A and B are shown apart, each in its own frame.
Chain A
């Protein structure tokens, strides 16, 4: 009995070590593929949000003159979070179809694929973090110990993105235009998230509908701990975590079923 138990735990340990290796090698592959052919390499991760930031600053500080303190930090923070969310969802949606050889591999844990994509996004986010810190310092923000909550926010966003990715990737097997549709939806969602405008300018009668977008709360929480140095909106975080705790296993099952169906159909 005891030996069997020991063997089972060691087997589980081996399995976890293997999954970690697999995740690492697939993320490594994706990073390498992304930068192999670009002369700028990893710097490209920063250039895109920086350019976006420059445009927003020009439009909303010089043309429209929106009154938000520490505007550069405010927008850059939102952009980093949004970029991670958007890119991960967009790429993960097509992942079943683009990873056919891996899916056909016996014993391959298919469900790791969206996790790989979201992890790659997280790495980009972390790589850009020092730049955000520079902006914070330039804007005269005092960093508080609350910054240490950042990993928690990352974990919540990670889990949320993976859950949604599972559903979208599964849907894409049946409807191959999911990715295109998603592109449009994400663009709309970008404007419905307080990235370059202030949350307080939302009229209260729209708040209930507007607040359904989880990104609204996540972005706000990030800013609360990074820029404003106040406690994050714990209620919102709890609700998002609760929903994710249900959506993640459900998405996982749907994803697994659909990816098997995909292999069988062809």
Chain B
């Protein structure tokens, strides 16, 4: 009884129709009513249960097609559930497609009447609230001008102001925070907090986990119509975000575990770029990813070709410091190997006989490029760390083999360096 919304075991069975489903009499007759049958049927929502108490805000997160909009439609009563039940106490208000019901030829004031009455207020109630609505929308000077003279921001403000002043017992919100400028958004949020305090049960749908975490008292995560998690917003959004991350990882190629030890994960468009027509499967730094300056390093690139039509490519390797400073940047083409023929899979090794870099943390960036450098097939940026140690500290980039010598010059008898300093050799 004390709940604003009670949803029990809700399910919605959906039919998707043929894309060429006839929409006119003539087409229907010609196609013989065959394509009138749905081609695909599925549960848009299944086994969904939750409650929202008055004064509570529930955030619903999930990807597109997870069933968020369907849930809003069912809660709003504009669609009927196939199974389960919904109990809602009081009047339902909605911030759905804001401004869609406005008429450009009517004035702001006339639109307020139409929208607010359509949202469930009586004419008298609208008149009482008129000033409040106009003030909130900050449209005092323009309210008797036709809405077609308004800017988009003004229209959104008006629509939002009307929707928020209808005093609903249950409010459904669909990704609203693109309304107006930043100060107006803050005002909207404050107003939502107000009506929440007055005992309105709010359902807020978003794909922005951060927003849900900040605003809501509880969170519900939907995937393909079913609940994945339901509970504390921090917990649910945390799970949601990490799931998103791991999904991206699944799309990237498998890498040897010793490289993930360094804590770097491979993310498309973050540290991995390219069409992936040829993929870098493994990068091996040999003998290992930690070495002493001046030792030899071999970099093995294990690639796999996804498109058999690609006959050749350019391989590129660079060694750079964490701040992006490149110490080595070489590629097969510059080293005189015009085309590297590709197999379905193979390994290419770059051997560096001496790597005389100063001590520090480096990244080995590896790329495979299209023959004309027009785009990357796969480029891993700042994924493979390389540690170089050295007995000597230096401010420069390289420590080539070197030593200090005192050069004894007999003709300069009173020269400064006459003591016999032993050699300092690195």
Contact = CB atoms under 8 A, between A and B. Distances in A.
A37 interface: yes
B412 interface: no
B71 interface: no
Contacts of B124: 21
A4 interface: no
A178 B78 CA distance: 24
Interface in B63-112: 73, 75-80, 91-94, 96-97, 100-101, 103, 105-106, 110
A12 interface: no
A260 B26 CA distance: 24
A130 to B, nearest CB: 27
A46 B359 CA distance: 94
A37 B75 CA distance: 39
Contact of A105 (B17, B25, B80, B94): B94
A137 interface: no
A145 interface: no
Interface residues of A, number: 33
A100 B94 CA distance: 14
Interface stretch (B114-122, B131-139, B295-303, B374-382): B114-122
B25 A102 contact: no
Contacts of A151: none
Given A33-B103, A177-B26, A104 B78 contact: yes
B73 A102 contact: no
Given A25-B113, A181-B25, A260-B78, A101 B101 contact: yes
Nearest to B79: A264
B42 interface: no
Contact of B114 (A14, A25, A100, A175): A25
Contacts of A240: none
B114 A26 contact: yes
Contacts of B93: 106
A263 B79 contact: yes
Interface string B1-37: 0000000000000100100001111101000000000
A37 B104 CA distance: 11
B129 interface: no
A107 B24 contact: no
B172 interface: yes
Interface of B: 14, 17, 22-26, 28, 73, 75-80, 91-94, 96-97, 100-101, 103, 105-106, 110, 113-114, 117-120, 122-124, 172
Interface of A: 14, 17-18, 21-22, 24-26, 28-29, 32-33, 36-37, 100-108, 174-178, 181, 260, 263-265
7 contacts: A21-B122, A29-B110, A104-B78, A105-B118, A107-B120, A175-B28, A177-B23
